[in-house]
Structures are given as structure tokens and as C-alpha cells.
Amino acid sequence: MYRTLEELETIVRDRICSICSVRPETGECGRDEPGGCALFRLFPRVAAAVHSVDSDDIRDYVLALRRQVCSACESQARDGTCEERKQVRCALDAYLIPVVDALEEATGKRFDRKLLAPPPGGVKLRLQAVC
């Protein structure tokens, strides 16, 4: 199913921002700098990474995101590590499963979620260290 970049971003924003732990009751992003959210700051790369994969294995999408998005992100160190990811401050990584859900809706694909499992108690972004 073909989607424009704008359509993809709208679908993902609707799905992810509505469950994001840094989004207050006002409905706006709770970050001091909403543009700093890596998921949407790098969204064209996120969409391109997904379009570059043709697989039902979610690990292929994770690998594509690491290679095409994280590699261009200022938060990733030269050795491939990322403190934002490590400390659960990145919405792209923290909400990977719902991001995949949203992209599945957009592309009509099915992924094997058994390969990924959310941490016990779910995910909560650590806002204070993000902005």
C-alpha cells in the first residue's frame, strides 16, 4: 500500500504521541524542544528505512532503522552505542512495537511480534534528561 511521507507521519504521530509518556493532558509534546524527538526529527529516514525492507521479520526492520536512522542521529556514538537508547529517552526505540504497528497499518504488512517483547510494566520515557 502506497503512503505519502506526510500520511505516514500523521499515522505514526497519532499512534505514538497519544501513548507517549511525555505527552501531557494538553495533547502537545511535553518536551521543551518537541523538534528534538528523534522519531520525528529523523522521520523521513524512518520512512525510507521501512520502505527499503521487504520482510515479515521485524528484526530486518530494526536492523534497517539502526543502519539508516541511528547512523545519522547525533545521539549515536562512533561505536554504535546510544545513551538515549540505553536510558530509554528515544521514542523511536522505546515505542518500537507501536511504531511497527503504525507502519503495519500504513503498509499493510504483518510482522512477527514474538521476536520483540516490551519490558515488564511497559515503557516510560525519561523526559527530564531528554530536553
In the complex, the residues that contact ligand SF4 under the rule CB under 6 A are 16-17, 20, 22-23, 29, 31, 34, 37-40, 69-70, 73, 75-76, 82, 84-85, 90-93
How far is Cα 76 from Cα 86, in angstroms, rounded to an integer? 11
CB nearer to ligand SF4: give 31 or 51: 31
**What are the C-alpha distances in Å from 32 to residues 23, 24, 37, 45, 63?**
11, 12, 10, 23, 30
DSSP secondary structure code for residue 76 in this structure: B
CB of 104 to ligand SF4, least distance (A): 18
For residue 41 the three cell numbers come to 526529527
Whats the size of the chain, residue-wise?
131
CB nearer to ligand SF4: give 95 or 111: 95
CB of 76 to ligand SF4, least distance (A): 4
Secondary structure class of 103 (helix, strand, coil): helix
CB of 25 to ligand SF4, least distance (A): 12
CB of 94 to ligand SF4, least distance (A): 9
CB nearer to ligand SF4: give 26 or 110: 26
Instruction: State how far Cα 32 lies from the chain centre.
Output: 19
